[in-house]
Structure 1
Amino acid sequence: MRLRTALSAALLAAGAALVSAMPAAAVANGADVPDGKFEFAAKLTMTDIPKPDGSKYDSACSGALIAPQWIITAGHCFHDVDRNPISGPVPYPTSVLLGTTEQQDGAGETRKVTDVLQAETNDVALAKLDSPVTDITPLSVEKSAPTVGQEVTLAGWGSLTATDPAPSTKLQQGTMKVASLDDTTVAVQGVSPKNDTSACTYDSGAPYFTSDGEGGKLVSIESTGPDCPHTDAETTSRADVIADWITEHTA
């Protein structure tokens, strides 16, 4: 199983070259997100992440706007030099792109992350933005437990493939179903466009949600899974078990 940020030695050694590599579609075997949809879907770009040997590298995660000044993402996206999750001031420069399905000049809105809060229950972090986003409807948080067989939408900025992965410049989506759940996590599997539609590298923190007009309800957050694409279960973090914690810190 691999966390959905670039954790392997080869990726760390590649450093910034990964971020500037040829774009790949996000979500393996997914579909394009039409313009104007899922504006809450966030692309997080991290730079100058320190390594134990003193060198640095760049990486990326996905996430979602859940309050005007807060992004939810995977906890492992923010860590110290030993890869331990960290709370407090953002540990390295992190920018957030929102309100667009394609990364290009003049598209969407960009913010910077100032502070991070780690959930104690599961692999989830809240990232505070330097200024509120007032013209995008945030995802609300589902307070009821998901059910086996329930279908959810995944939207992320990750790679098409686990081979030489690169963060995407275009938002992709896929339909998934809940395969099982435990106290803190939800296992999901691909439904469409293909049964091996799945999260990939740089999809860490991507939202799984039920659609509701302009907005939607957050069911879980991408954490880890096998190399993509795959038909096996993907591990995601339940949103309902931390709903009160999210409200407490983002109200």
Structure 2
Amino acid sequence: MRVRRLLTCALAVVTVGALGTSPAAAIANGAVAEEGQFPYAVKLTMTGIQPTGGTAYDSACSAALISETWIMTAGHCFHDGDRNRVSGEPRYGVTATLGTANTASNPGQTRSVTWVEQSPENDIAVARLSEPVTDLAPVALGTRQPGRGQVLSFAGWGATSSSGTWSEQLHWGEVKVSSVRPTTVLVKGYWPAKDTSACPYDSGAPYVDTSGPAPVLVSVESAGPACPHRRDETTARVDVVVDWVRTVVTDLR
């Protein structure tokens, strides 16, 4: 899961502030995303996560806007104190930040996450926002099986290494599909480097096909080796859950 190392995040934030350095950028060996390049990209920040028998901590994930009132992310971003995926009201505070590629220079707009539904097929969840987002274009959901060798773009708010924390800057990169499985897609770094890869807090990051007139969401970030790496990254297929999504997201276009 790309939300590992959560217990170290508070220490990482304190260290950054004390040293006066910039927060880690998202995605290992990725490129800086421009404002408006990924209008559907969502940053999720979680506060007050209470593990069973442990100390509360904060965390983050990435996501994609799929309708005016719903986002799609990794299912494991929403869990109970024992890290079991859960539906319903989030067990901790979750804020979605949209309409920005850099929260330091442009705070964007925020919504609370009020309800979560977990996919019965794979590591995908859809989450309802507290208010509609009417000025940003949602990304369309893919309905076709991905193909081996297909190039996908992805964008996330995670770290640049396995020990980093989440970022104020959205980064992106490209991957190639290396294998297609019944509910997942395996991908490998392609551009700007062969080891361009997702990192902690990139969980739920959208992988999109940009070869057509409009971007299409093919999969979302699920899990992978310590970043950066040149090995397979596991993403959750969107096409196998589209019918289920349509039963939940009533304003899906």
TM-score, length basis structure 1 = 0.93
**Aligned-pair CA distance for 1:32:** 0.6
Higher strand share: 1
Which residue number in structure 2 is paired with residue 4 of structure 1? 2
Which residue number in structure 2 is paired with residue 166 of structure 1? 165
1:26-74 CA distance string (max 9 Å, x none): 0100001112210110100000000122420000000000011111000
Tell whether the 8 Å contact from 1:174 to 1:197 is kept in structure 2 after alignment. yes
The within-5 A match list for 1:123-142 is 123-142=123-142
Give the whole-Å Cα distance in 2 for the aligned partners of 1:96 and 1:228.
25
Which residue number in structure 2 is paired with residue 61 of structure 1? 61
**Aligned-pair CA distance for 1:248:** 1.8
How has the CA–CA distance of structure 1 residues 191 and 67 changed in structure 2, closer, same or farther, with 3 Å as cutoff?
Answer: same
For structure 2, the residue ranges without an aligned partner over 5 or more in a row are 17-21
Tell whether the 8 Å contact from 1:19 to 1:59 is kept in structure 2 after alignment. no
Which residue number in structure 1 is paired with residue 231 of structure 2? 232
SS of 2:95's partner is strand
Give the whole-Å Cα distance in 1 for the aligned partners of 2:204 and 2:213.
21
Tell whether the 8 Å contact from 1:18 to 1:167 is kept in structure 2 after alignment. no
SS of 1:67's partner is coil
Tell whether the 8 Å contact from 1:137 to 1:214 is kept in structure 2 after alignment. no
**Aligned-pair CA distance for 1:16:** 3.1
Give the whole-Å Cα distance in 1 for the aligned partners of 2:211 and 2:100.
18
Give the whole-Å Cα distance in 2 for the aligned partners of 1:137 and 1:213.
16
TM-score, length basis structure 2 = 0.92
Give the whole-Å Cα distance in 2 for the aligned partners of 1:237 and 1:217.
14
SS of 2:246's partner is helix
The within-5 A match list for 1:1-251 is 3-6=1-4, 8=5, 11-12=6-7, 14-19=8-13, 21=16, 22-104=22-104, 106-163=106-163, 165-211=164-210, 215-251=214-250
Give the whole-Å Cα distance in 2 for the aligned partners of 1:106 and 1:157.
14
For structure 1, the residue ranges without an aligned partner over 5 or more in a row are none
Q: Which amino acid aligns with 1:63?
A: A
**Aligned-pair CA distance for 1:104:** 2.3
SS of 2:240's partner is helix
**Aligned-pair CA distance for 1:211:** 2.2
**Aligned-pair CA distance for 1:15:** 5.0
How has the CA–CA distance of structure 1 residues 178 and 168 changed in structure 2, closer, same or farther, with 3 Å as cutoff?
Answer: same
Q: Which amino acid aligns with 2:229?
A: H
**Aligned-pair CA distance for 1:210:** 1.3
SS of 1:68's partner is coil
Give the total of aligned pairs.
Answer: 244
Which residue number in structure 1 is paired with residue 19 of structure 2? none
Give the whole-Å Cα distance in 1 for the aligned partners of 2:151 and 2:112.
32
Give the whole-Å Cα distance in 2 for the aligned partners of 1:136 and 1:226.
33
SS of 1:228's partner is coil
Give the whole-Å Cα distance in 2 for the aligned partners of 1:215 and 1:123.
25
Deviates more, 1:179-188 or 1:106-115: 106-115
Give the whole-Å Cα distance in 2 for the aligned partners of 1:103 and 1:180.
35
Calculate percent identity across the aligned residue pairs: 48
**Aligned-pair CA distance for 1:107:** 2.6
Give the whole-Å Cα distance in 2 for the aligned partners of 1:49 and 1:18.
17
Give the whole-Å Cα distance in 2 for the aligned partners of 1:169 and 1:106.
10
